[in-house]
Amino acid sequence: MARRLRLFIPNIPCHIIQRGNNKTRIFHENNDCLFFIETLLEARLKYPCKIYSYCLMPNHFHLIINPQSIGNVSLFMKLVGGKYVRYFNKKYDRTGTLWENRFRSFIIGEESYFIRCLRYVETNPARAGLVKIPESCKWTSYHFRALGLNNPLLDLDPWFSSLGTTMAECRLMYARFIKESVEENELDQLRKITQKGGVFADAKLKEYIEKSYPGSIAIKHPGRPKHRPNICRH
């Protein structure tokens, strides 16, 4: 069976998830995470992408990135995946594949899903029971957005910058948003989207994709959430 074609559109963010083969660990210690972050930074510079969010879990990782050119995501992930596997296999005296198939991805073509995806990624360790609160996990982008810690890997998205008139206000509003309770149906929807992949777009973006990239991949709309996040906008 032929592989499904995947589309990445410049200046439109996408969510990427990559798992370890057979759900095996891909990070054993902090130095593994540090090397992976350094590899992300190298890939970001070589194949320009804005990185809005990440989360490193024991057996998988999440990224929300915004490619600056049409081919950047595939090249970005090829560099990251290949270099990390070589590092990991040498360090742990192993051979063969580390990843479970290709990375999964979907385009986030609507702000209401973009901000939910941010929360989904940055609260992953807490939902999995690895930590009690998001700030207790060292290997996510939460500290950059909510606490203002310097991180040269990350970029701020327009939505975050609109949350307040100062960075302190933006961080405060973001932390409140992250800590809001999330309904189980929202989590189920995001899990299904992550599993299926593809392009999830509103009508305007759907029309643009169909005209600009005819016959590329199936375009889906997941339906609007019942409730918009309870967060102040300026």
pLDDT, tens digit (0-9, with 9 covering 90-100), for 154-165: 999 999 999 999
204-212 CB contacts, 8 Å cutoff, 24+ apart: 205/12, 205/109, 205/110, 206/109, 209/7, 209/9
According to the model, what pLDDT value does residue 228 have?
45
| Cβ contacts of 76 within 8 Å, gap of 6 or more | 43, 44, 46, 47, 49, 65, 67
For residues 72 and 63, the model is more confident at 63
What fold does the segment set 14-220 form as a domain?
Alpha-Beta Plaits (3.30.70)
The answer to whether the beta carbons of residues 41 and 54 sit under 8 Å apart is: no
pLDDT, tens digit (0-9, with 9 covering 90-100), for 170-194: 999 999 998 887 777 777 777 776 6
pTM: 0.85
According to the model, what pLDDT value does residue 6 have?
66
According to the model, what pLDDT value does residue 42 have?
97
According to the model, what pLDDT value does residue 10 have?
86
pLDDT, tens digit (0-9, with 9 covering 90-100), for 114-129: 888 899 899 999 988 9
pLDDT mean over 8-14: 87
According to the model, what pLDDT value does residue 184 have?
75
Q: How many CB atoms lie within 10 A of CB 24?
A: 11
Is pLDDT of 134 > 80? yes
According to the model, what pLDDT value does residue 213 have?
67
